[in-house]
């Protein structure tokens, strides 16, 4: 944890949530973790704070009093690539997908614990400051993007070209949720948006090859109703 | 279906035809008398005329009979009372003869008339009864308002050959809900059904009220109120009396009103039953909510206050245990709220399943990941048949089903118990099972555990809401699947889900509620 702090040296977090209790919780946790904080409770202020405060990461609640959270994301994405983590409640799968498709980087389901929060924030920060490395390592899995090699426990795994492309897409977004649509459009094209089975089959095949137990996946995690997430290293 | 018109027709000849019959018979009698006058006395020839008058009176009306009497009297006087070929009106004998004939003819004729009128009335009554019987028999089997209306329209068209329209109230207005195809209603009499409805009086053609109207409007009366209006357009050339028709149509209106009332009442009774069940459910929901929200809150509040107020006196270990406890309870609270949301989502009309092809292994993996913390090192075996097909399901909701089942299995089994998940399929169904080695459920409770808020009597230490399985049931049924529970032969409990493979992919979106 101490290492993390030094690495990112007082990163700035913009919290956008109209619930005072959540604001207080986030404030105490994030300040204790060494973040510099700006808190606002509406979309309009969030948009101007994004310009003035120059946050390194934004925590955005979707249910804002003045405008739709997805609208805030759209406006931000017109000029900024700052990582956005959406805070949402469980029954909003559709909203989560909309927010992610609009360009949010990740989401946290309320209620969430501190460990989850910090993990997401760290992934977001790392992605914003670091360039993707040519070799991805997570647990026993190693993906060499330069030589297109996938190594599990030291042995090379044979993947079909589609499986490799899928894994590479997940690796380049490691730690972040990717929606079904994002993957389908990237790998198969817009025409396949309504045919998620092609994605399910490839995910299933990929898991058979790289997971020790495909029923308890460690690398490719399913976010039900939303998408997939490749476990970030560390 | 009986036709009233064919039964109404008179069988006796009347009008000109009656006179022709009468005069021909008298002429015939005269011919016979001409032959017989050489062998019989004139007084006996009179008997032949008397017989003729009787025959005429029996077969025609009163007036032809009197005409026959006059003719017969004249001919008898002219031909057979001496002197022959002389008509002597003032002959005493003739007057007696004439009055004798006249009274015989009149009495017989009126008797016959009365009898035939009575027979006619009986015939009409019988026809009406047949029509009504037919209508009431068909109405008795009509199960809803629509089929009642159709039955009434068909019966009126068939039995009376009249055109009909039926009006029922819709809010403040009367609405035409059924009508004969050829029926047209003049614009100026469109207010009449409303008038008849509000005044509870028959109005329109032939009733003396709003006489100019083409149709007759019968209010459909029940004991307490009017529930509609029946409009009838009688055929122009109808040869039945208006009174007969009117009586029959009133009976039709009464039958229709009764049938509609019956359907309304049974509908109301059904609604009352539903709302009673809803009230019961709401009470159960309130009880459950207050219990299941409060008890975790009580724990959390207790933990927080003890740490706030006595935090310094507590050892690190105790504090940690307290906080773990609070976190568990918060998670439980979250699951409970989630379940309530699922229930309202399932029960909201128009709720739509978001079905997508699902990888069953993925589904199980998600549920396992979500319940990882509760496992606390317990063994969960996963037994999947190779190459399971993708199954069209709402991944999010089905994930909640499996989480609830796993949660139950963990809750009701011993800490060292084993939980097994298995999946296999045949041509039509995916079969998912979650089994534990817990104490199982008494056989007569096996069905009830899927009812809302039902909880088998278990020690208080086991925390649950009695919502989990009913939600599973709701979600699985919305997918067109089945869920049931059994006790395992060797001890333990197993819940089985059967999800359709084909039907699920055909109907993409299934509204339910």
Instruction: For B405, list phi and psi in degrees, rounded to 5.
Output: -65, -45
Q: What is the 3-state secondary structure (H, E, C) of A84-117?
A: EEEEEECCCHHHHHHHHHHCCCEEEEECCCHHHH
CA distance B171 to B173: 6
Q: What is the DSSP string of A154-167?
A: TEE----HHHHHHH
Confidence of residue B13 (pLDDT cuts 50, 70, 90): low
| pLDDT for B328 | 85
Q: Dihedral, CA atoms, B295, B299, B305, B311, nearest 10 degrees?
A: 180
pLDDT value at position B2?
56
Question: Which residue in the set A93, A196, A217 is minimally distant from B365, CB to CB?
Answer: A217
Which of residues 139 through 158 in chain A touch B, CB cutoff 8 A?
Answer: none
Cα B325 from chain centroid (whole Å):
57
Helix (H) or strand (E) holding B432: strand B429-436
Report how far residue B57's alpha carbon sits from residue B54's, in angstroms, rounded to the nearest whole number: 5
CA nearest neighbour of A34 among A54, A59, A3, A9:
A9
CA separation for the pair B414, B416 (Å, rounded): 5
The conformation of residue B166, written as its DSSP 8-state character, comes to E
Distance between CA atoms of residues B383 and B377, nearest Å? 19
CB nearest B365 (choices: A90, A113, A215): A215
In whole angstroms, how far apart are CA A130 and each of A36, A127, A173, B387?
20, 5, 12, 40
Largest alpha-carbon pair distance within chain B? 156
> What mean pLDDT do residues B344-360 have?
75
Cβ contacts (< 8 Å) between A113 and chain B: which residues? 327
Please give the Cα distance from A138 to B316 (Å, whole number): 34
Q: Does A91 touch chain B (CB under 8 A)?
A: yes
A218 near A124, Cβ under 8 Å?
Answer: no
The pLDDT-based confidence of B464 (bands split at 50, 70, 90) is low
C-alpha Rg value of chain B to the nearest Å: 45
Partners of B496 in beta bridges: B433, B484
- pLDDT one-digit tens code per residue, B399-419: 989 998 998 888 877 778 889
**Half-sphere exposure in the Cβ direction for A68 (13 Å, CA):** 9
Residue with tokens 């075996």, as numbered in its chain: B381
B396 contacts on A by Cβ (under 8 Å) = 93, 224-225
Please count the residue pairs, one from chain A and one from chain B, whose beta carbons lie less than 8 angstroms apart.
55
CB-closest option in A90, A200, A215 to B357: A200
127-146 in B: which are within 8 Å (CB) of A? none
In angstroms, rounded to a whole number, what is the distance separating the alpha carbons of residues B240 and B206? 13
CB-side neighbour CA atoms (13 Å) of B340: 18
pLDDT of residue A196: 86
Helix A197-210, helix B360-370: angle, nearest 10: 70
Q: How many residues does chain B have?
A: 513
Residue A9's CB is within 10 A of a number of other CB atoms, namely 8
Q: In the predicted model, is pLDDT for residue A113 greater than 70?
A: yes
Residue B438: per-residue pLDDT: 81
pLDDT band for B184, please (50, 70, 90 cuts): confident
Rounded Cα gap, residues B356 and B363, in angstroms: 12
Helix residue ranges, H only, A111-192: 114-129, 161-172, 180-187
DSSP of B448-471, one letter per residue?
A: GGGSTT------TTS---S-HHHH
Compare all CA atoms of chain B with the CA of A225 and give the residue at the minimum distance. B396
Mean pLDDT of B229-245: 75
Q: Which segment of B12-26, B31-45, B417-431 scores lowest on mean pLDDT?
A: B12-26
Which of A202, A218, A188, A170 is closest to B390 using CA atoms? A202
- Provide CB contacts within 8 A for B93, sequence distance 6+: B81
Q: Are strands B482-487 and A141-144 parallel, antiparallel or unpaired?
A: unpaired
Neighbouring CB atoms inside 10 A of A128's CB total 15
Cis geometry, peptide bond prior to residue B307 (ω within 30 degrees of 0): no
Q: How far is A56 from chain B (nearest CA, A)?
A: 30
Cis peptide before B83 (omega within 30 of 0): yes
- Highest averaged pLDDT of the listed ranges A34-48, B42-56, B129-143, B269-283: A34-48
Token pair belonging to A155: 């042995």
Angle, CA B314 vertex, CA B310 and CA B317 arms, to 5°: 145
Q: Which domains does chain B have, with CATH numbers?
A: 4-134 (no CATH), 142-264 (3.30.450.40), 351-512 (3.30.565.10)
Select from B296, B332, B362, B367 the residue whose CB has the most chain A CBs within 10 Å, as the one to mutate to test that interface: B362
CB B490 within 8 A of CB B500: no
**What's the confidence (pLDDT) of residue B413?**
78
A111, A213, A222: residue with CB nearest B362: A222
Residue B498: the pLDDT is 93
pLDDT mean over A91-102 = 85
Complete domains list, chain A, with CATH: 2-129 (3.40.50.2300), 135-230 (1.10.10.10)
Q: Give pLDDT, residue B456.
A: 55
Residue B504 has what pLDDT?
A: 40
Indicate yes or no: CB of A111 within 8 angstroms of CB of B334: yes
Within 8 A by CB and 6+ apart from B473, the residues are B450, B483
Q: What is the mean pLDDT of chain A?
A: 88
């Amino acid at each position: 944890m101490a290492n993390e702090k030094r690495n990112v040296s007082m990163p700035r977090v913009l919290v956008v949530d109209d619930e005072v209790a959540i604001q207080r919780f986030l404030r105490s946790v994030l300040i204790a973790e060494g973040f510099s904080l700006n808190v606002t409770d509406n979309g309009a202020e969030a948009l101007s704070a994004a310009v003035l405060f120059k946050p390194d990461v934004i925590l955005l609640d979707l249910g804002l009093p003045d405008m739709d959270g997805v609208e805030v994301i759209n406006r931000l994405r017109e000029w900024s690539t700052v990582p956005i983590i959406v805070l949402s409640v469980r029954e909003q799968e559709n909203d989560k997908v909309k927010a992610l498709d609009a360009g949010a980087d990740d989401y946290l389901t309320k209620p969430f614990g501190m460990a989850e929060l910090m993990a997401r924030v760290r992934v977001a920060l790392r992605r914003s400051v670091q360039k993707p490395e040519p070799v991805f390592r997570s647990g026993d899995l190693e993906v060499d993007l330069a030589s297109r090699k996938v190594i599990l426990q030291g042995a090379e795994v044979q993947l079909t070209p589609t499986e490799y492309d899928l894994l590479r897409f997940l690796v380049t977004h490691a730690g972040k949720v990717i929606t079904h649509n994002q993957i389908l459009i990237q790998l198969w094209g817009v025409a396949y948006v309504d045919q998620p089975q092609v994605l399910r089959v490839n995910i299933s095949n990929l898991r058979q090859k790289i997971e020790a137990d495909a029923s308890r996946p460690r690398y490719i995690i399913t976010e039900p109703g939303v998408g997939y997430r490749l476990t970030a290293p560390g | 279906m009986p036709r009233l018109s064919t039964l109404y027709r008179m069988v006796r000849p009347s009008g000109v035809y009656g006179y022709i019959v009468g005069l021909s018979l008298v002429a015939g009698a005269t011919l016979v008398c001409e032959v017989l006058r050489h062998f019989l006395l004139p007084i006996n020839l009179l008997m032949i005329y008397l017989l003729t008058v009787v025959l005429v009176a029996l077969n025609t009306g009163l007036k032809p009979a009197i005409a026959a009497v006059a003719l017969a009297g004249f001919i008898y006087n002219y031909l057979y009372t001496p002197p022959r070929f002389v008509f002597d009106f003032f002959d005493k004998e003739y007057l007696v003869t004439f009055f004798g004939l006249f009274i015989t003819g009149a009495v017989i004729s009126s008797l016959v008339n009365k009898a035939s009128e009575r027979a006619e009335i009986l015939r009409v009554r019988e026809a009406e009864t047949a029509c009504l019987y037919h209508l009431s028999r068909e109405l008795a089997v009509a199960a809803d308002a629509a089929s009642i209306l159709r039955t009434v329209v068909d019966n009126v068209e068939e039995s009376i050959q009249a055109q009909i329209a039926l009006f029922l109230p819709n809010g403040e207005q009367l609405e035409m809900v059924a009508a004969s195809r050829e029926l047209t209603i003049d614009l100026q009499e469109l207010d009449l059904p409303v008038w008849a409805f509000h005044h509870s009086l028959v109005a329109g053609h032939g009733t003396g009220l709003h006489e100019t109207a083409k149709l007759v409007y019968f209010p459909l009366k029940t004991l307490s109120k009017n529930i509609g209006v029946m409009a009838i357009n009688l055929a122009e050339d109808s040869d039945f009396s208006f009174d007969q028709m009117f009586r029959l149509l009133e009976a039709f209106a009464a039958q229709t009103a009764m049938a509609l009332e019956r359907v309304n009442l049974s509908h109301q009774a059904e609604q009352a039953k539903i709302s009673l069940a809803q009230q019961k459910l709401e009470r159960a929901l309130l009880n459950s909510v207050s219990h299941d929200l409060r008890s975790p809150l009580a724990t959390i509040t207790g933990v927080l206050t003890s740490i706030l107020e006595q935090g310094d006196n507590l050892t690190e270990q105790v504090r940690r245990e307290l906080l773990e406890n609070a976190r568990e309870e918060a998670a439980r609270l979250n699951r409970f709220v989630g379940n309530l949301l699922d229930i309202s989502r399932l029960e909201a009309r128009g709720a739509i399943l978001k079905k997508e092809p699902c990888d069953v292994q993925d589904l199980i993996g998600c549920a396992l990941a979500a319940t990882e913390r509760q496992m606390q090192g317990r063994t969960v075996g996963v037994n999947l048949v190779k190459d399971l097909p993708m199954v069209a399901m709402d991944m999010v909701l089905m994930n909640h089903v499996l989480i609830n089942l796993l949660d139950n299995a963990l809750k009701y089994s011993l800490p060292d118990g084993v939980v097994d998940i298995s999946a296999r399929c045949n041509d039509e169904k995916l079969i998912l099972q979650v089994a534990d080695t817990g104490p199982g459920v008494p056989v007569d409770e096996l069905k009830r555990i899927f009812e809302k808020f039902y909880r088998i009597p278990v020690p208080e230490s086991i925390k649950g809401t009695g919502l989990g399985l009913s939600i599973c049931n709701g979600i699985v049924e919305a997918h067109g699947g089945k869920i049931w529970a059994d006790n395992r032969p060797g001890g333990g409990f197993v819940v089985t889900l059967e999800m359709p493979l084909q039907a699920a992919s055909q109907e993409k979106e299934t509204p339910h509620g």
